[in-house]
């Protein structure tokens, strides 16, 4: 069932709280001590619908509006909404456009007829509430297994045909899924229903916008809020682009549930790799044709890091990483450099990748083991580290990022406005200050420290070029000085 909000006569696709009725009254078919109707009192034009206020079934008298080869459309006889032409158009579109797509991506609808019943769903909107159910699929009452129920008040009053078709596409995935696997976990089932609206040509950006505000959630934890819908939608959308249509059908037919179903289909190691790739795609979203591994195709966002590191040479933190979750860290160097980065993660099961940038232009992607020194091929001044835990157990560990190479400090001379003192910590050679008026002195100190005095041009750009050796390899860096500041 879809729960939505109405705002100033506008039906907003703010959330798809699509609960199957088994969550409302349990698998036993009992509602508040009353049994769901399971007798032959059902007729072709009368339907047993669920009342969300009384939590009981009630009979609604309907009339047939239109019948195609597969789809039959019914409307409540005494209902508030009477636009039968609009309902017929919806039925025609479902038969011609929606069903072929869903059967291609998911699986065949096993029923000869698919009934769509338009009626005023009895929900909180009836008693002045702002929330209402735009539609639902009822799996527990066997007569309803080939039916989708769609709200007419206010669901149809302010809706475009695409609004209604998106609800139907979402609910039809539940119907298809239940036909092949009738006890799937909520998060996975909802993720595929969100995906069904996308492959049918609809999009709910509100869900994704909520998710990217705080994306560091456990994949298979389900609270039913907008963030959760965005999370599972983006995961299965990414999986579709990476693995193709067949993996979606395989999930539908797999009788294991939740994450165990994905482990069974892909293998645990391969799933953890895919999960990590998805985490990287969310974190950097390169959105390039040759970079689908690191792209959320069709979107231009990337999630904010959970922590921004400052320009200190060493960053150390303790990390508690929940199961099936990830973190993004972002840091900057004081100056453009190709210095090695040493990454230490005290848990060998944690997957990690470093992305290096030069002024926000990606220069290098390095997939790491858990304690490894990165030797960049190009100068960089920004780095993103993505770590993920694709297992079903929480991980606690320490993480250290160390930027190697010399450290510079820039000091003003209080007696000479153009003079700067440059303090250097670490072994260096071939230091060259470009565009300086003159270099006054250079003095070696103890413990690989050095100080240089130079008069610089305050109205122009100056650069300090330097190099140093580490493990018999020469590395170079450039420091830019603008208006006397480093």
Q: Is residue 189 within a helix (H) or strand (E), and if so which, with residue range?
A: helix 186-199
| 3-state SS, residue 77 | coil
Please report, for the domain that includes residue 389, its CATH number. Answer: 2.60.120.380
Residue indicated by tokens 């003192």 = 421
| Domain count for the chain | 4
Q: Show the domain range for 160.
A: 1-180
Max CA distance (Å), the chain: 101
pLDDT (tens digit, 9 = 90+) per residue, 343-400? 889 898 999 999 999 988 999 999 876 667 777 888 888 999 999 999 999 999 999 9
Last residue of a domain, one of 180, 215, 231: 180
What is the per-residue pLDDT for 257? 96
Residue indicated by tokens 């009192």 = 41
* Statement to judge: residues 48 and 133 lie in one domain: yes
Name the more confident of 120 and 35. Answer: 120
Rounded Cα distance, 321 and 329, in Å? 13
* Statement to judge: residues 44 and 175 lie in one domain: yes
DSSP H helices in 40-160? 84-93, 99-105
With cut-offs at 50, 70 and 90, classify the pLDDT of residue 42: very low
* Statement to judge: residues 260 and 335 lie in one domain: no
Last residue of a domain, one of 336, 368, 403: 403
* Statement to judge: residues 340 and 286 lie in one domain: no
Q: How many other C-beta atoms are found inside a 10 Å radius of the C-beta of residue 218? A: 15
What is the per-residue pLDDT for 368? 76
With cut-offs at 50, 70 and 90, classify the pLDDT of residue 230: very high
Q: How many other C-beta atoms are found inside a 10 Å radius of the C-beta of residue 413? A: 14
* Statement to judge: residues 363 and 325 lie in one domain: yes
Say how far residue 205 (Cα) sits from the centre of its chain.
11
Residue 128 has pLDDT above 50, yes or no: yes
Last residue of a domain, one of 121, 150, 180: 180
144, 18 contact by CB (below 8 A): no
User: DSSP state, 267?
Assistant: -
User: DSSP state, 43?
Assistant: B
Among 456, 290, 302, 321, CA closest to 396:
321
Rounded Cα distance, 339 and 267, in Å? 38
Say how far residue 45 (Cα) sits from the centre of its chain.
43
* Statement to judge: residues 274 and 360 lie in one domain: no
pLDDT (tens digit, 9 = 90+) per residue, 71-105? 999 999 987 777 899 999 999 999 999 999 999 99
pLDDT exceeding 90 applies to what percent of the chain?
Answer: 54
pLDDT (tens digit, 9 = 90+) per residue, 160-181? 899 999 999 999 999 999 999 9
User: DSSP state, 344?
Assistant: E
> How many residues are given for the chain?
486
Among 409, 240, 249, 222, CA closest to 313:
409
Is there a cis peptide before residue 154, judged by omega within 30 degrees of 0? yes
* Statement to judge: residues 26 and 173 lie in one domain: yes
Say how far residue 409 (Cα) sits from the centre of its chain.
41
* Statement to judge: residues 318 and 398 lie in one domain: yes
- pTM of the predicted structure, to 2 decimals: 0.82
pLDDT (tens digit, 9 = 90+) per residue, 334-355? 777 777 888 889 898 999 999 9
What is the per-residue pLDDT for 335? 73
Name the more confident of 342 and 118. Answer: 118
Buried (b) or exposed (e) across 177-212, using 16+ Cβ within 10 A?
bbbbbeebbbbbbbbbbbbbbbbbebebebbbebbb
Q: Could you tell me the two tokens for 116?
A: 């769509």
Residue 187 has pLDDT above 80, yes or no: yes
194, 236 contact by CB (below 8 A): yes
* Statement to judge: residues 87 and 127 lie in one domain: yes
Residue 220 has pLDDT above 80, yes or no: yes
> Phi and psi of 316, rounded to 5°?
-135, 130
Residue 325 has pLDDT above 90, yes or no: yes
* Statement to judge: residues 27 and 174 lie in one domain: yes
Among 335, 472, 305, CA closest to 403:
335
Please report, for the domain that includes residue 431, its CATH number. Answer: 2.60.40
Q: How many other C-beta atoms are found inside a 10 Å radius of the C-beta of residue 305? A: 17
49, 202 contact by CB (below 8 A): no
Rounded Cα distance, 371 and 348, in Å? 8
What is the per-residue pLDDT for 279? 98
Q: Could you tell me the two tokens for 148?
A: 């989708």
* Statement to judge: residues 255 and 342 lie in one domain: no
Give the mean pLDDT of 207-212: 92
pLDDT (tens digit, 9 = 90+) per residue, 401-438? 988 777 777 777 777 777 777 777 777 767 777 666 55
What is the per-residue pLDDT for 38? 46
What is the per-residue pLDDT for 483? 59
* Statement to judge: residues 37 and 149 lie in one domain: yes
Among 412, 414, 415, 434, CA closest to 423:
412
Pairing of strands 71-76, 114-119: parallel
């Amino acid at each position: 069932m879809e729960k939505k909000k109405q705002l100033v006569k506008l039906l907003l696709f703010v959330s798809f709280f699509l609960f199957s009725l088994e969550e409302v009254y349990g698998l036993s078919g009992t509602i508040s001590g009353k049994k769901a109707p399971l007798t032959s009192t059902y007729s072709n034009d009368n339907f047993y619908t669920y009342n969300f206020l009384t939590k009981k079934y009630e009979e609604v008298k309907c009339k047939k509006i239109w019948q195609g080869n597969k789809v039959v459309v019914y409307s409540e006889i005494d209902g508030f909404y009477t636009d039968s032409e609009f309902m017929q158009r919806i039925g025609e579109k479902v038969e011609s456009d929606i069903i072929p797509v869903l059967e291609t991506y998911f699986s065949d609808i096993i029923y000869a007829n698919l009934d769509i019943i338009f009626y005023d769903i009895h929900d909180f909107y009836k008693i002045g509430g702002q929330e209402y159910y735009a539609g639902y699929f009822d799996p527990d009452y066997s007569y309803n297994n080939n039916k989708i129920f769609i709200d007419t008040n206010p669901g149809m009053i302010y809706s475009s045909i695409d609004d209604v078709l998106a609800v139907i596409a979402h609910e039809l995935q539940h119907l298809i899924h239940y036909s092949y696997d009738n006890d799937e976990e909520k998060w996975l089932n909802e993720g595929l229903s969100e995906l069904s609206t996308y492959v049918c040509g609809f999009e709910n950006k509100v869900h994704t916008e909520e998710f990217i505000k705080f994306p560091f959630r456990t994949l298979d934890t389900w609270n039913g809020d907008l963030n959760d819908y965005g999370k599972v939608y983006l995961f299965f959308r990414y999986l579709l682009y990476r693995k193709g249509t067949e993996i979606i059908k395989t999930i539908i037919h797999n009788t294991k549930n939740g994450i165990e179903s994905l482990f069974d289909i892909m293998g645990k190691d391969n799933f953890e790799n895919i999960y990590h790739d998805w985490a990287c795609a969310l974190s950097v979203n390169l959105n390039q044709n040759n970079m689908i591994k690191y792209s959320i195709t069709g979107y231009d966002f990337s999630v904010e890091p959970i922590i921004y590191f400052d320009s200190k040479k060493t960053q150390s933190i303790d990390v508690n990483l929940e199961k099936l979750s990830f973190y993004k860290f972002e840091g900057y160097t004081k100056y453009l450099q190709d210095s090695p980065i040493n990454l230490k993660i005290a848990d060998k099961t944690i997957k990690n990748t470093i992305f290096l940038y030069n002024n926000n232009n990606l220069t290098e992607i390095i997939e790491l083991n858990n304690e490894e020194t990165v030797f960049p091929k190009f100068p960089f001044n920004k780095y993103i580290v993505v770590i993920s835990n694709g297992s079903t157990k929480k991980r606690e560990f320490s993480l250290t990022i160390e930027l190697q190479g010399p450290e510079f400090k820039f000091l003003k001379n209080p007696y000479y406005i153009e003079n700067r003192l440059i303090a250097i910590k670490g072994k260096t050679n071939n230091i060259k200050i470009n565009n300086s008026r003159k270099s006054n002195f250079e003095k070696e100190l103890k413990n690989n420290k050095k100080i240089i005095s130079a008069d610089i041009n305050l109205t122009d750009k100056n650069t300090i070029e330097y190099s140093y050796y580490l493990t018999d390899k020469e590395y170079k860096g450039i420091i830019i000085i603008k208006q006397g500041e480093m």
